Amino acid sequence: MDTKESYAVVTGASQGLGKAFAENLARKNINVILVSLPGQNLKELCGELEQTYHIKCHYYETDLSVHENVMNLTEWLNGSFDIHILINNAGLGGTKKFTEATPDYINTILQVNVAATSLITHQLLPNLLKQPKAYILNVSSMAAFSPIGFKTVYPASKTFIHSFSRGLHEELKGTSVFVSVVNPGAMKTNTEVCKRIEKQGFWGKLTLLNPDKVASYSIRQLLKKDSVIMVNPISWLVMKILPIWIKLPLMTQAIKREIEA
């Protein structure tokens, strides 16, 4: 597959898993377009990738919680590039009592996690379908497999992503576009996140993952056409085995400990 003039798009690319996706794609000699919020050093990251891996890199800074921004981004992408990989990684979590959440807080999570992922995929799909081979990877979460108190909106949004991806995968069978979804747990994105997750106790420590390993494995499985990628088989098995009446209070208590800590 000739990728010299085609690109992989990564949203939420400035840090954590998104940055790891960008670096792993660049290592494979794949040109990348990085999308993230303004003020996240995206220009510097793009320059580093170009210098280190000798690939082409472009970047676009925008807030994906705003509908108009999403449409402007996809218009620019379609008008400027051939795209053969789309990684919808941008997402917002959040741990808060629902009664203390503001309308803006709830809306932002839904706009980024649900609306932006759906719309970017929809708008870029004609571009992807023009390519001899193309791939879409949507980043869901282990949280997609259980509701969680004190998170409420986030797991529901990731359940949507998982369902959306599985449905689109089935719909696009027989085309040049392959759709996959990855369901990682919490990741070691920075020291603060590690400490916060570890306060959840055993469950939090069990699911803590390395972003680079998650990105590397996910891209490898995507190119192998694995439609549902599980990077932490232990936590996935626990989630599958435990009935909802056990795992829902168990996970809620873990999150409650995090809030209290």
Give the pLDDT of residue 155: 92
- Element at 231 (helix H, strand E): none
- Count CA atoms closer than 13 A to 98's CA, side-chain side: 8
User: Coil, helix or strand for 178?
Assistant: strand
135: phi then psi, degrees, rounded to nearest 5: -140, 140
Q: What tokens does 207 get?
A: 């699911």
For the chain, the residue count is 261
- Per-residue pLDDT averaged across 165-187, rounded? 94
* CB 35, CB 10: distance < 8 Å: yes
Tell me which amino acid residue 148 is: I
pLDDT score for 145: 82
Q: Do 9 and 33 meet the contact criterion of CB atoms below 8 Å apart?
A: yes
User: Residue 1 pLDDT more than 50?
Assistant: no
**Which has the minimum average pLDDT: 12-21, 192-201, 202-211, 212-221?**
192-201
Residue pointed to by tokens 């809620």? 252
Burial class (CB in 10 A: 0-12, 13-18, 19+), 139: buried
154 catalytically annotated: yes
Mean pLDDT (the chain) is 89
Q: Is the pLDDT of residue 196 over 70?
A: no
pLDDT band at 194 (very low <50, low <70, confident <90, very high): low
Instruction: Judge whether 53 counts as a catalytic residue.
Output: no
Residue type present at position 4: K
Residue 197: pLDDT band (50, 70, 90) is low
Catalytic pick from 158, 173, 195, 256? 158
**What would the mean pLDDT of 32-59 be, rounded to a whole number?**
97
Domain boundaries, the chain: 6-190+209-232
User: Residue 202: its pLDDT value, please?
Assistant: 54
pLDDT by residue (tens digit) across 109-129?
999 999 999 999 999 999 999
Task: State pTM to two decimals.
Answer: 0.88
Higher pLDDT, 131 or 3: 131
Residue 205 sits at φ, ψ, to 5 deg, of -65, -35
Please identify which of the residues 7, 53, 154, 217 carries the catalytic annotation.
Answer: 154
Q: What is the mean pLDDT of residues 42-59?
A: 97
What mean pLDDT comes out for the span 222-248? 83
Nearest to 154 by CA among 193, 101, 75: 101
**pLDDT band at residue 163 under the 50/70/90 scheme:** very high
Token pair 């379609």 is at which residue? 78
Max distance between CA atoms of the chain, in angstroms, equals 52
Q: In terms of CATH architecture, what is 6-190+209-232?
A: 3-Layer(aba) Sandwich (3.40)
Is the per-residue pLDDT at 201 higher than 90? Answer: no
| Helices vs strands, H then E, count in the chain | 11, 7
Distance (Å, whole) CA 221 – CA 215: 10
pLDDT tens sequence across 132-159: 999 999 999 988 888 788 788 999 999 9
> In the prediction, which pLDDT does 13 show?
97
pLDDT of residue 139: 97
Give tens-digit pLDDT for 64-85.
Answer: 999 999 999 999 999 999 999 9
Residue 130 pLDDT? 96
Contact 79, 68 (CB under 8 A): no
The proportion of the chain whose per-residue pLDDT surpasses 70, expressed as a percent, equals 89
